[in-house]
Chains A and B, each alone.
Chain A
């Protein structure tokens, strides 16, 4: 095929706004949208963090006077909102909305997303979904307290907090979020597939882009299940249909429902819910791969294997969902099937972990703040992944179901790990985004508080789970299986959680302070190779590149190539002719 001289990517005119509002509020620039996504996600994440601190205080000091205001209803509402916000409105929105928007066009050498206007709408619809979710706290009865999985029938029967209004705001907010995600996700995928620059083949893309690509793809086929279940549950609640509601006696009277199937909701929910774990994990994998390679000054070990592992994990994640339902009353042979697929998914995941470790082996590791977070991610992910193998087995899962072991597992693997990846990514890309370096000392203090603190929180929870302490209990007295030691452990966990929570102020302070007073950042402070570090200006202007888009000649991982003068060769440097 003849080479196209001027590619379409270069001829597309950009919409350059003249007003301040057009530039920074209703902006169509992917970098501004990334910041908007990031700030909104962090703000709503802080709400969820505060809710979790209230929960911890209640668990540790149920009798204390200062917790008297915190009723059981508040506790269940806090559990629900904390889970939903963290999983969807913080992690998904941050990893795909913020990192996706920032990294995809820059790393693909594009001027912007393919449809910037749709991209802008995506953010504003996301903001709308967050607002609807927050309205939950101001409607009569408050937000729903059904647990973040929203299992029927209890979600829409009397006795659950927020059954009148809270559940409606929750479900509508989720549906609106899915609309926002679809608009953004279509943009990311189309940009990655159709708008790469010269020379950037799929197998030269940085792993961050690969992770975002497959995660977005998963989102586009998994979120529909959540959308459908939200619609059906709204109809069950307000039109009294019986999709999920069986004939049921509640508070002494027979409800008007009959013949529904509660398990259908669980299947739909987890067909979304399990891929959701990988929607969060895959971008984190990608970011960590890039961080480790850059800061260890060594090419990523087994790049092709890493790519295919991401693809394989993505594909497998669609057929493992019912491992969340071993105790739900499905047919036992389903358990056999889903346990098998769940354990198979450990193979590509383990490949990735081995490759990270082999990348670090005999590397010229620079212990920068992003590298600290990347190393912490690998450690945390190993812990969370291995406990996942326990829970993937039906016979081990059944005694551990609904104990703190489960809480510890999923917080390690999809709570702390992606958060560490997000922190690492922020410390890594902040200089490019703002043109200022983040304060290194504050960054290190923040890292040690967060890393050691989260281990202090979640490691003891495994033991609580082993002795059978059930999760989601508002208050537990002292009993045979709930000894004084467990209470003391809970107090310890709560104190650690408070310290970790407060230490996040350091991070926010660092972000704000460095934006105004930080050291000026050079164009490529880490000596990285991928395209975002090759922009003509730092921070990149609207449109990212000069009149001509950059040309890529190599992959993003040429570090320490033998016989070269510099220890890193950016993707835009031509390959030398073989002599």
Chain B
């Protein structure tokens, strides 16, 4: 019994090694574009990691108090202050968009072009509404709460000036990713129904999806670090 388990394990390792180092392609059946997107996302991960590490260093080293997230990011609805309401909606929307994206990928492999189109368009719309809400959030922070990239408006001092700096920088960089993703989604969706990818297996939908899921995953980290910490 143990002998067979061991030999199976060995063969898995050796066969993986043989597969990876074999000729032609290292990752079997993976189109070039998909491999390239994965490698790009690895690189992009390091960009966001550096931003988030920068944020953690700021939190540890600033000399003044850090503003309380649940108060800063509260939304007043019918006179009641609800913490993190807007962010909860934004997060829900972005995760929903990942769901529609996954459905689009599935439809792509079934070659149902119009289903792909509408699902990708829905994903793009959800993404665009996320960016819109982020604009609303930013303007609320800037106008109502007096938070500036370089600190605070004169009568709104909440503590460490790095709060606004790092918040606007990181969420801005993420919002830029979402905006680029929306344009990317719409472009691919139109090209799909125009038949530009008919000779392929519609892996472009999955490649777009990889990027979109990545942007979504990054948001989960940003959400945890900026709003829950």
Contact residues of A with B, CB < 8 Å? Answer: 1, 4, 7, 9, 114-115, 182, 185-187, 189-190, 193-204, 220-225, 227-229, 231-232, 235, 239-243, 256, 258-261, 264, 268, 271, 552
Chain A residues with CB under 8 Å of B50's CB are 224-225, 227-229, 268, 271
Chain A residues with CB under 8 Å of B44's CB are 224
Is B77 an interface residue, CB under 8 A from the partner?
no
Is B57 an interface residue, CB under 8 A from the partner?
yes
Contact A256 B150 (CB under 8 A): yes
Best-buried of B30, B57, B173 by chain A (most CB within 10 Å): B57
Chain A residues with CB under 8 Å of B47's CB are 224, 227-228
Q: What is the CA–CA distance of A120 and B40 in the complex, to the nearest angstrom?
A: 17
8 closest residue pairs by CB, A with B: A241-B165, A224-B46, A228-B50, A202-B21, A224-B47, A220-B43, A240-B150, A114-B32
Q: What is the CA–CA distance of A231 and B149 in the complex, to the nearest angstrom?
A: 13
Q: What is the CA–CA distance of A4 and B25 in the complex, to the nearest angstrom?
A: 12
Given contacts A190-B36, A196-B24, A242-B162, contact A261 B169 (CB under 8 A): no
Is B42 an interface residue, CB under 8 A from the partner?
yes
Given contacts A114-B32, A235-B165, 13 further A-B pairs with CB under 8 A are A182-B40, A196-B23, A196-B24, A200-B23, A202-B20, A220-B43, A223-B43, A239-B149, A243-B54, A258-B161, A259-B161, A261-B57, A552-B23
Give the distance to chain A from B168, nearest Cβ to Cβ, in Å: 9
Is B58 an interface residue, CB under 8 A from the partner?
yes
Contact A258 B165 (CB under 8 A): no
> Which of the residues A4, A194, A204, A259 comes within 8 Å of B27, measured between beta carbons?
A194
Chain A residues with CB under 8 Å of B36's CB are 114-115, 186-187, 189-190
Q: What is the CA–CA distance of A195 and B54 in the complex, to the nearest angstrom?
A: 38
Contact B149 A241 (CB under 8 A): yes
Contact B63 A258 (CB under 8 A): yes
Give the distance to chain A from B55, nearest Cβ to Cβ, in Å: 10
Chain B residues with CB under 8 Å of A199's CB are 23
Across the interface, name the chain B residue whose C-beta is closest to A182.
B43
Q: What is the CA–CA distance of A223 and B43 in the complex, to the nearest angstrom?
A: 9
Chain B residues with CB under 8 Å of A200's CB are 23-24
Q: What is the CA–CA distance of A29 and B33 in the complex, to the nearest angstrom?
A: 19
List 25 A-B pairs, Cβ < 8 Å. Answer: A1-B28, A186-B36, A186-B39, A186-B43, A187-B36, A193-B25, A194-B26, A195-B25, A197-B23, A197-B24, A220-B39, A224-B46, A224-B47, A228-B47, A228-B50, A229-B50, A231-B173, A235-B169, A241-B149, A241-B165, A242-B162, A259-B63, A259-B64, A268-B50, A268-B54
Is B187 an interface residue, CB under 8 A from the partner?
no
Across the interface, name the chain B residue whose C-beta is closest to A181.
B43
Best-buried of B24, B42, B160, B169 by chain A (most CB within 10 Å): B24
Is B70 an interface residue, CB under 8 A from the partner?
no
Given contacts A186-B40, A221-B46, A224-B46, contact A259 B62 (CB under 8 A): yes
> Which of the residues B42, B43, B57, B149 comes within 8 Å of A235, measured between beta carbons?
B149
Is B22 an interface residue, CB under 8 A from the partner?
yes
Chain B residues with CB under 8 Å of A268's CB are 50, 54
Q: What is the CA–CA distance of A186 and B36 in the complex, to the nearest angstrom?
A: 6
Contact B61 A261 (CB under 8 A): yes
Contact B63 A231 (CB under 8 A): no
Give the distance to chain B from A205, nearest Cβ to Cβ, in Å: 10
Q: What is the CA–CA distance of A186 and B33 in the complex, to the nearest angstrom?
A: 10
Q: What is the CA–CA distance of A231 and B50 in the complex, to the nearest angstrom?
A: 11
Across the interface, name the chain A residue whose C-beta is closest to B37.
A186
Contact B54 A201 (CB under 8 A): no
Contact A190 B46 (CB under 8 A): no
Is B143 an interface residue, CB under 8 A from the partner?
no
Give the distance to chain A from B171, nearest Cβ to Cβ, in Å: 14
Chain A residues with CB under 8 Å of B20's CB are 202
Is B101 an interface residue, CB under 8 A from the partner?
no
Chain B residues with CB under 8 Å of A222's CB are 46
Contact B27 A242 (CB under 8 A): no
Chain B residues with CB under 8 Å of A223's CB are 43
Across the interface, name the chain B residue whose C-beta is closest to A9.
B24
Given contacts A115-B36, A220-B39, contact A264 B165 (CB under 8 A): no
Is B197 an interface residue, CB under 8 A from the partner?
no
Give the distance to chain A from B47, nearest Cβ to Cβ, in Å: 4
Chain B residues with CB under 8 Å of A241's CB are 149-150, 161-162, 165, 169
Contact A194 B149 (CB under 8 A): no
Is B166 an interface residue, CB under 8 A from the partner?
yes
Contact B162 A224 (CB under 8 A): no
Is B69 an interface residue, CB under 8 A from the partner?
no
Q: What is the CA–CA distance of A2 and B123 in the complex, to the nearest angstrom?
A: 39
Across the interface, name the chain B residue whose C-beta is closest to A260.
B162
Give the distance to chain B from A92, nearest Cβ to Cβ, in Å: 15
Give the distance to chain A from B19, nearest Cβ to Cβ, in Å: 9
Best-buried of B50, B149, B160 by chain A (most CB within 10 Å): B50
Give the distance to chain A from B201, nearest Cβ to Cβ, in Å: 11
Chain A residues with CB under 8 Å of B135's CB are none
